[in-house]
Structure 1
Amino acid sequence: MGLVSLADIRAAAVDIAGVVTRTPLMPTPWDAALWLKPESLQPVGSFKLRGATHAVARLDPAVRLRGVVTHSSGNHGQALAYAARAAGVPCTVVVPEGAPRVKVDRIRALGAEVVLVPPARRLAEAERIVAGTGATLVPPFDDRRIIAGQGTVGLEIVEDLPDVEVVLVPVGGGGLSSGVATAVKGLRPSTAVIGVEPLLAADARESLAVGEVVVWDVERTYRTSADGLRTHLSALTLAHLRERLDGIVTVTEEEIGAAMGRLVRDARLVVEPSAAVAVAARLFRSADLPSGRTVAVVTGGNVDPTLLAQVVTAP
């Protein structure tokens, strides 16, 4: 199966119009060359609504009636539940134990059935449900429809800031970074697209270095507060990133927390740890990044209130 194309992403933009919010580019008061793409402003609080909406839209109507199933730490689950409800489709979300309660509660509030399992069993349980019900599995990132939907973030960035020189995008499973890199490189090949991930879950950097998917065990990746970035790449997303990503940098937990605080206090955005990594790279890893007009993708705002309070009150 080939890589997602710019034409695929443009088709996705048509599919998601009217359901997904076109988020603005926000200038930052502390950095004249930095803009934010606040996907935290989506109806479900994250960029995941883009891919989920596109995936549901592409299902055959007869297939939709049997429902959709996914496995997710929270944001993709919320997004698929929202997209499924809008389309009148049954939805089941397999969630790893330990996911933020705020995300789990919101998935249920959107009408989806939630199944909690140990983290290592999330995919197996989703596949078991699919086999028993005939529902369609909609993966959180390992899917061309998901990648194309997420790529609409990059499409909007270049449309709104045509002379953008650097795009910083978080990397977890690689669906967002694959889509954004595809869109940005297709529209403006000279723009550098840089992935950012937590140092404590830097499997994507290792995968790109060795040229194959490297999987860190859950005990290792669960050390990071950025729960949305604990997932490893797939063969499909690695293929996209190897061809289209210009580099990858890592940030520490302390830097993620500091970036969250900056975003809350100075940009007035409620963000989760995963959403702050791109800004953390700009704040603390600028020496490792290309210079110029930069957009940082702020991926979501579904944060545990206790953690948010700690970040806001930190010195």
Structure 2
Amino acid sequence: MRVLKAASRLALCIAGSVALSMSSGLAQSRVPDVHYEPTPQPIVEELLKMAEVNRKDIIYDLGCGDGRFVITAAKKYGARGVGIDIDPERIKDSRRNARLAGVQDRVKFIEGDLFETDFREATVVALYLLPDLNLQLRPALLKDLKPGTRVVSHEFDMHDWMPDKMGKWGRNRYYYWVVPADASGKWTWTLSSAKGAEQFVLELTQKFQDIDGKIMTPVSTVAPLEAYLIGKEIGFVLRYRPEGKPVEMRFKGKVEGNTLNGFVEVDTGPYSGRHKWTARR
């Protein structure tokens, strides 16, 4: 990868570019001092597969280069796409390529600064940014994107936000994340037994998609086991000993604001069976 003269922002775009963009304070119409290098098409294909793109998706490529990421997503999967690039020449290339591919009705390309882009409608965001720029963009991704939105990046990761998946093509690495819901805090629910309604309290701590904590049962406090958070989907296992007998409860649900809705499955003991489960924060 060759990089020529650096400017105050260096944007490497997944659609196939390594772009040195000027500071966001400059007018977008100014042509930046750019060197870009197309991302290999096989990596574009692999990232689209990894994100499980389909026709319901809205793809945002932040630094779109020649537009190949959103164009491929539209042509192969029927998705809609938006490409952002600060270089007007790249936007011209992208629009021409979309017409040649026959997908100009499903994609659009906007000349602009990726750091000032409103991408809240995206279901998939594509990146090819240097690590420090990933860190600059990361807070907006976590705050503005809906839980469950997929983020893919060619070559560079997100520091301590560990990827949910990663792959390799030749010497190139690529990464995949799912934006997690906010599941931290104290969740309370009740389950009915022969003794009546009994209360459980789950206190969760969270770092990105990693969750941990403790569960206060009617008889003891234990740690949740096999806990996971993927977008809005949450699950964990509770093992404890009511009445001196071991019980395993398997919880699965979705984070919906301040409510967890799902099911709990219990094989034995006073709560045996499959029950609806609602917890509130």
Same fold (TM over 0.5): no
Larger radius of gyration: 2
Q: Which has the higher contact order (CA 8 A, sep 6+)?
A: 1
Q: Which has the higher helix share?
A: 1
TM-score (norm 2): 0.30
More strand by share: 2
